[in-house]
Structure 1
Amino acid sequence: MALYELFSHPAERGYRAGLCSKAALFLLLAAVFTYIPPLLVAFRSHGFWLKRSSYEEQPTVRFQHQVLLVALLGPERGGFLAWSTFPAFNRLQGDHLRVPLVSTREEDKNQDGKIDMLHFKLELPLQSTEHVLGVQLILTFSYQLHRMSTFVMQSMAFLQSSFAVPGSQLYVNGDLKLQQKEPLSSGGLDVRYNVSVVSGTSPFAYDYDLTHIVAAYQERNVTTILMDPNPIWLVGRAAEAPFVINAVIRYPVEVIAYQPGFWEMIKFAWVQYVSILLIFLWVFERIKIFVFQNQVVTTIPVTAAPQGELYKEHLS
């Protein structure tokens, strides 16, 4: 009758020694050198703790219909015309006040429930002797992020262009880009910048000074700017035609920097630690087998017969 190997199992060999023996001390040192060095290597590699991470999100942006305009003229009429949606500002302008015609349209191109762009048009009526040489324009927005922390702020787009030749129209097509000086938190509600960019109820001219507004805005750690590298200045205005500002402002998907939470930091650190630990486990396992098999430290070997051998003997 032919015999076949039906089952096999590796033989186990134990090594016995006292708890105060050299063998026990060797195992203690081997455990220390197995588990501690990977932690030091991962930590010293500069990146063990994940302090900053990023993700992509399209913000929820809505135009707040707040506008502040200063049109720079030639030497006539004191050199500028101004208008805003803030009545207190308009009362301060006196003869420099000129009310334009403003039209806006927000568009959701991909029908995902979030506004993708703003179409803004402003027509400033001019007299035949008035010529626009430059424009300073502030538009305000409500800007929200929701994927990690709920971040809500009121932001602005500041447009400034000036030319030596009088213009008939300024065309802008740019992105409202997020700028961060520090990462956002990974959870909770952040409304520290949910305050008006322009103090629209203030009766003081200082609060409407563009230098003051921009300086206060830049003190924030999170802002938005209008990215348009090539504004187009069109010339050749008819005598009674208005000066036109035509702007298309897009709300693109942003890469948001944030501070990871506790569990995300632990997960990132654990992956680094274990990847190095596996190498140390393999190396020290071979070292321990060599030390005990060759009796480098004194122990009493104990061999346990595998069950497979018992089965073989029974079948024979």
Structure 2
Amino acid sequence: MFCVLDIYKRNLEIIYKTTLCSKATFVIIITTIAAIVFPFIFAYRSRGFWLKHDTFYEQPNVRFKGEYFFVGFTNDISNVIICNNIYDFPKLRKLDKCSTFKVKEIDKNYDGKPDTLEFHMELTFAPNVHYLQHFILILPLDYRLQTTCPLKMQSAIILQQTILPRANHLTITANLMLKQKAPLHCYPKVTDKLLNNIIMIQETHSYNDNLDNFNVNKIINNYLQRNFTTHLSEIYTSYDLTSENFKLHLLVDYPEQAVYYRPGFWQVLKWAWIQYLAIYIAFAWLINKIQNYIFENDLVLAYKSLPSTLMQRIADRKKNY
């Protein structure tokens, strides 16, 4: 006794024919259009069909530019301390009381990108000054993204701090984060340098005659009006009351962060096509079942054309009977 197996099979194609202006043609046109259009409407109405923005994660390559600007307000209102190495003119030099300035960039994982910026400075007070009440510190940076959406811009660490009375030793730790008002335009092979301009105002000649024209708030406001800026987050502050002169120790980490960007045409098309195709498969299967039901049950008038092999089998069966 032999075991018989079904090892291969194929369907015989049955063709239905009709005239151009007929109900059968109208049914095919309507069902075919429905199979194409309905998946698009369903995908679009369910939201998220067109990808308007996306997110990638990257640790930025941040470099300290070697510049700093410090403004300190003391207990003596008439005695303002301004330390910097950006603006060099006589009236500011008289207000510079900074005795020590140290910066160190630390690469913890040896990947060529700094992970932490360590900033240290000390002030020497005048005899009638005992402590700082408030200060503003600006450290210009070179900020770069190099993977999905290349970006090169000039950013800054801006720190504004109110100090407890006679707390002259201040230690601050924080993270540097990217703040976006709009998605980043993504061109994978082109580096965006639109914001690669100097943050600190360089036109120092307008301040030589009148120091009152110098406004730090204007510098900060101009910077904050940009669509892409950096700011300090998760700030932790500790004080020490043992120091006579003011000491600031700042530790800023550069963590991996989320960057919102506007995807390109092919990424949007790929995302939309995957959603459309997934819904189209289900609709196409349903429409095919409807078409089969209509024509197999002769709900519309059409001429049925059978394959020659099937016709021969039917003829052979009639002869046998």
TM-score by shorter chain over 0.5: yes
Query: C-alpha separation between the residues in 1 aligned to 2:234 and 2:9?
Result: 74
- More moved, 247-256 vs 92-101: 92-101
Which structure 2 segments of 5+ residues have no match? Answer: 317-321
Q: CA deviation at 1:44?
A: 2.1
Q: CA deviation at 1:98?
A: 1.6
Query: C-alpha separation between the residues in 2 aligned to 1:169 and 1:293?
Result: 90
Q: CA deviation at 1:291?
A: 0.3
**Structure 2 counterparts to residues 242-281 of structure 1, below 5 A:** 242-281=245-284
Which structure 1 segments of 5+ residues have no match? Answer: none
Letter in 2 for 1:146: Q
TM-score, normalised by the number of residues in structure 2: 0.88
Partner of 1:174: 174
Contact 1:9 1:306 in 2 (8 A): no
Query: C-alpha separation between the residues in 2 aligned to 1:147 and 1:81?
Result: 42
Contact 1:172 1:228 in 2 (8 A): no
**How many residue pairs were aligned?**
305
Matched, 1:213 2:219: yes
Partner of 2:238: 232
Q: CA deviation at 1:200?
A: 3.3
Contact 1:42 1:48 in 2 (8 A): yes
Letter in 2 for 1:191: K
Partner of 1:185: 185
Query: C-alpha separation between the residues in 1 aligned to 2:146 and 2:93?
Result: 43
Partner of 1:57: 58
The CA RMSD over aligned residues, in Å, is 2.3
Contact 1:116 1:251 in 2 (8 A): yes
Letter in 2 for 1:31: T
Runs (4 or more) in structure 1 with deviation over 6 Å come to none
- More moved, 90-99 vs 18-27: 90-99
**Structure 2 counterparts to residues 1-316 of structure 1, below 5 A:** 4=4, 7-75=8-76, 78-88=78-88, 91-93=90-92, 95-130=94-129, 131-187=131-187, 188-205=190-207, 208-238=214-244, 242-304=245-307
Query: C-alpha separation between the residues in 2 aligned to 1:183 and 1:198?
Result: 25
3-state SS, counterpart of residue 138 of structure 2: strand
3-state SS, counterpart of residue 126 of structure 1: coil
Contact 2:98 2:121 in 1 (8 A): no
Query: C-alpha separation between the residues in 1 aligned to 2:227 and 2:8?
Result: 69
Letter in 2 for 1:211: N
Cα deviation 1:3-31 (Å, max 9, x = unaligned): 83564333332222223222112111111
Cα 1:267–1:7 change in 2 (3 A) is: closer
3-state SS, counterpart of residue 26 of structure 2: helix
Contact 1:67 1:84 in 2 (8 A): yes
Q: CA deviation at 1:237?
A: 2.4
Cα 1:198–1:17 change in 2 (3 A) is: same
Contact 1:11 1:305 in 2 (8 A): no
Query: C-alpha separation between the residues in 1 aligned to 2:68 and 2:79?
Result: 20
Cα deviation 1:253-294 (Å, max 9, x = unaligned): 111110000000000110111111111111111100100000
Give percent identity, aligned residues only.
27
Q: CA deviation at 1:134?
A: 2.3
Q: CA deviation at 1:230?
A: 2.6
3-state SS, counterpart of residue 236 of structure 2: coil
Q: CA deviation at 1:305?
A: 6.3
TM-score, normalised by the number of residues in structure 1: 0.89
Contact 1:117 1:249 in 2 (8 A): yes
Cα deviation 1:213-255 (Å, max 9, x = unaligned): 11101110000012243322322323xxx31110111111111
Query: C-alpha separation between the residues in 1 aligned to 2:54 and 2:41?
Result: 23
Q: CA deviation at 1:101?
A: 1.0
